[in-house]
Structure 1
């Protein structure tokens, strides 16, 4: 039954109908009718952020950790433009989000009115889709259609731009229960004949590898389960992109670690030397492929992806399968069991032995110290002291992000929230707010850098206001670490503007926000201080002072191939690796 209500009330009713429990936002003149409707409802909790970018990242953290759609509400003009970074981040990392923006009244659109901007035009290239609502009669359909578009197929952000007069206007509301769209029909099930060919290729491979990505996690628990079952059935080694960590357990025997620019030696060498690459829910981005013309030169490639535009976009593959990872993997499991119920461990034994030799290089090793805290050691201790807890990790962007990916181990999906495609500094703190809102009793830790975390530090105020006991674990090396590392390796050590001068006292900053501050620069005190951080029931800023000029290794330099890695103690490694990257021992 249709019910008459204002456009603003329709927004809230649609959120309720979509089972939205939390919305992240910041008020302004062009959305005050919606905020008035929020005030009069008790079913949707509004989380007041301190900056609209914080709202989008909080919604990303919420969505990534729950599998639900994140929701954002911002005003017109600067409210919308401040959200652009988070929208772009969500688009590149395939995060479902609906962002509702206010707009000036329809008669004023195009007049350069106060706080007017062309939101639809600005966000066209950083959203999956966007709408300008011109009539209250269209609003119910658009609201529900936006959720369908954001969450179906390859997930992504959708913007709904609602002029103020449409928010005030009266109209009839009914839930259209949208489950399809006449012009948007994502293909969920892969072509059966193609899946059969893929299974046949896997049965003949001698050097296979599963290359998995965030699409497996986006597909849901069934996809994760099917991936693990497929790996067990085949006996094939598994690696992952930054966004796919946790889809396959880090303590699994077939796990190679993360691949790519800062991936493990064994993962990158397996990708380079394999004869069959099964890409599941990843997109062959440049941080994975390295030099395109030298990428996995002797392999046949299977690419499973729900987004047809990703197929053959960067790497030409031998067998494309368009479909949802979960559906395709489930069908693969069924077909594999129909042909054989035994893994191919014996047939690929030489390949597994070669991988063990690459593992012996121990590419993640680092020089230990009793006098200073090494960043890798800090992450290792953080992992060991939290691994038995209900823990969720977010990160900022930089060296600390890569060290976290290398040394914190994920055995479950949806526990790792980081900015992958866009590489957004400032992502982790507001993302941790969103994760903590979704998981009130969990331990939520943002592994941060002292430069990156300052970009959205104001969101500590949000955490304090809502009693969200997020832990901000700062690896403080007083540099923009990744920038400094590249300047050292590629620019002759000319550290142009990469030194973080005039850093705040993070302990005093925590106190100013009403949070708890901790500083540690002694490895002998680190465990006790980490436990103090964990056990206190309030937001914490932990200033962990680490070695200043530590490089994040291994590393594939820009423009190089997988087998051209810079490894720790390269001089020593050179004694056991030939010029082609083959281990000689």
Structure 2
């Protein structure tokens, strides 16, 4: 079964500027500039916040932005910040995030965020300016073929050369971004299209040949999956970020409790299933918990829900879960059997499929009562034998795991946590307890340094009443910390925890383990010794933030509590942590997940393949 494109919302009543010519019929369409049409379309689509920075090719659009008060524009300090802020906005709410940039370097500065959103299925709409249509192809000033550049990393890219095409293009882009497998869509609009006038026709007719995302699964496939679940003795529900994007956490909880199966939540799915639930055995993958990794590895049935069997979860693919049958549920048919062949492939929206699977399982289980008690006995033994933990550093500096754990405990599950990329990202995924979807934001597929601060900013704009933390590394923080100025000026009081080990920590860890400790070019000089370049406290204060430095464990709680109590400006805490702390467990790249048992307490010696 397929779905037609959703109807475009009808316009809300508003004061009209009247027809273009005196004496025209009152029913005649309103005539707007192309820029006016952009604003009006966004407004009718329900957009209330956008992130961007002006430039020559989008001056007409920015001129129109000044004349209205429905859409809040957040002036960022770099286009990458606009893109990540749109991502954070979308990831925290499920709504489409919007970023605006000018042509040429303005548009290309969005590319990293677009690629990030594409890998992690985040619905964002990027609107870029383009040179005059008559100048295209001449290497005009700040001309770049952004449609061509982004084609491999967007669900679709539009080039608009005429004002009358704008409403339909933006409405279609919004629809594509938010339906099926969510993702980024770019609309590139020439400057003359923004300046020229045309009748504003609403709702526009969406012409999207070939775009028919499947949401409802085939009934026989669902029944086959239910039968495998009933027959399995070592099942596991392998939950990916698609469950969060589909708003399917309630359905997942019902299915899990009905089946009694263990649940693992990937890095992108943290919070999709409550950490406190007895059936949750942890996060799988390279730095997953031992019970979660081995639950997959030794299962006889994997029910994959909105996950894609990426290399960080499977380890050596040829040796991944060798005895398991696979039920693969994904809204994107391209993901089915891409990495691991599915015994029962199911294309459909996770929310609908999980609900159908629950009904089918209940019917199948009425005749056969599954017994997975031996499986649970084994997994509970692993929980007891391999609890998640860490050792105190021998250098007297802070344990980063302890710092992050206390941030989570003092803030609580209603907080939102956005992480950069590296060791601090893994520790935040491991040591903060996630009880609700959309509380954990991170760059999973692309692994983008610099994601955290602007993503936290976007999340705070989307949900101003929530506490929002950016948990960042000293390397990541230096890539996008200029957005603290945006936060201060626009009253966006995020909290930033810099896990400062004065290093590019994850690279240093790999160098320690696999390159005989040759720490080539990973020392950042930000927190150890006498030199601090930069001094993050002085830098944060220069941006108008409350800045705190923490060097001992007895200071940790007071600093976090002060940050939680401060809501009139951003807060930055510079936690000076041990550079020798490592992320454990660890399954080296290209090695079988079976090795995770031995990687818990000992540095692995296997070479990556």
Q: Shared topology, TM-score over 0.5?
A: yes
Whether contact under 8 Å (2:226, 2:364) holds in the other structure is no
Which residue is equivalent to 2:561? 531
1:249 and 1:150 mapped to 2: Cα distance? 28
TM-superposed CA distance for 1:517, in Å, is 0.3
Answering whether residue 258 of structure 2 is matched by residue 233 of structure 1, we say yes
Which residue is equivalent to 2:21? none
1:494 and 1:343 mapped to 2: Cα distance? 58
Counterpart secondary structure, 2:404: helix
Which residue is equivalent to 1:455? 479
Counterpart secondary structure, 1:210: strand
Kindly report which structure 2 residues correspond to 1:35-434, keeping only aligned pairs within 5 A, or say none: 35-176=62-203, 181-220=208-247, 223-340=248-365, 347-368=371-392, 371-387=396-412, 390-434=414-458
Whether contact under 8 Å (1:105, 1:163) holds in the other structure is yes
**Which of 497, 501, 505 is residue 481 of structure 1 equivalent to?**
505
Whether contact under 8 Å (2:227, 2:364) holds in the other structure is no
TM-superposed CA distance for 1:341, in Å, is 6.3
Answering whether residue 500 of structure 2 is matched by residue 493 of structure 1, we say no
1:279-307 CA distances to partner (integer Å, 9 max, x unpaired)? 00011111111101101000000000000
Which residue is equivalent to 2:602? 570
Answering whether residue 583 of structure 2 is matched by residue 552 of structure 1, we say yes
2:368 and 2:192 mapped to 1: Cα distance? 64
Which residue is equivalent to 1:577? none
2:280 and 2:586 mapped to 1: Cα distance? 19
Whether contact under 8 Å (2:229, 2:361) holds in the other structure is no
2:520 and 2:423 mapped to 1: Cα distance? 17
Whether contact under 8 Å (1:521, 1:545) holds in the other structure is yes
1:150 and 1:497 mapped to 2: Cα distance? 39
**Which of 547, 550, 563 is residue 520 of structure 1 equivalent to?**
550
**Which of 13, 17, 20 is residue 44 of structure 2 equivalent to?**
17
Whether contact under 8 Å (1:271, 1:562) holds in the other structure is no
TM-superposed CA distance for 1:357, in Å, is 1.4
TM-superposed CA distance for 1:363, in Å, is 4.5
TM-superposed CA distance for 1:562, in Å, is 1.0
TM-superposed CA distance for 1:177, in Å, is 5.7
1:339 and 1:437 mapped to 2: Cα distance? 46
Counterpart secondary structure, 1:149: helix
1:299-333 CA distances to partner (integer Å, 9 max, x unpaired)? 00000000000011111111100000001011111
Counterpart secondary structure, 1:563: helix
TM-superposed CA distance for 1:548, in Å, is 1.4
Which residue is equivalent to 1:511? 541
TM-superposed CA distance for 1:384, in Å, is 1.3
The alpha-carbon distance between structure 1 residues 177 and 152, as it changes in their structure 2 partners (threshold 3 A), is farther
Stretch moving more, 87-96 or 307-316: 307-316
TM-superposed CA distance for 1:154, in Å, is 0.2
Calculate the TM-score normalised by the size of structure 2: 0.91
TM-superposed CA distance for 1:364, in Å, is 2.0
2:183 and 2:346 mapped to 1: Cα distance? 21
Whether contact under 8 Å (1:234, 1:343) holds in the other structure is no
1:59-108 CA distances to partner (integer Å, 9 max, x unpaired)? 00000001100001100000000000000000000000110000000000
Whether contact under 8 Å (1:133, 1:163) holds in the other structure is yes
Counterpart secondary structure, 1:548: coil
TM-superposed CA distance for 1:441, in Å, is 1.8
1:473-523 CA distances to partner (integer Å, 9 max, x unpaired)? 011111110000001111111111011125311111111111110011110
Calculate the TM-score normalised by the size of structure 1: 0.95
TM-superposed CA distance for 1:126, in Å, is 1.3
Whether contact under 8 Å (1:363, 1:554) holds in the other structure is no
Counterpart secondary structure, 1:8: helix
TM-superposed CA distance for 1:547, in Å, is 1.2
Count of aligned positions: 570
Answering whether residue 499 of structure 2 is matched by residue 471 of structure 1, we say no
TM-superposed CA distance for 1:338, in Å, is 2.8
TM-superposed CA distance for 1:379, in Å, is 1.2
Which residue is equivalent to 1:580? none
1:494 and 1:372 mapped to 2: Cα distance? 22
TM-superposed CA distance for 1:534, in Å, is 1.2
Whether contact under 8 Å (2:132, 2:192) holds in the other structure is yes
Whether contact under 8 Å (1:72, 1:97) holds in the other structure is yes
The alpha-carbon distance between structure 1 residues 522 and 178, as it changes in their structure 2 partners (threshold 3 A), is farther
1:340 and 1:271 mapped to 2: Cα distance? 23
TM-superposed CA distance for 1:360, in Å, is 1.7
Whether contact under 8 Å (1:206, 1:351) holds in the other structure is yes
Whether contact under 8 Å (2:230, 2:365) holds in the other structure is no
Whether contact under 8 Å (1:507, 1:541) holds in the other structure is yes
Which residue is equivalent to 1:578? none
1:270 and 1:435 mapped to 2: Cα distance? 33
TM-superposed CA distance for 1:36, in Å, is 0.7
Whether contact under 8 Å (1:304, 1:325) holds in the other structure is yes
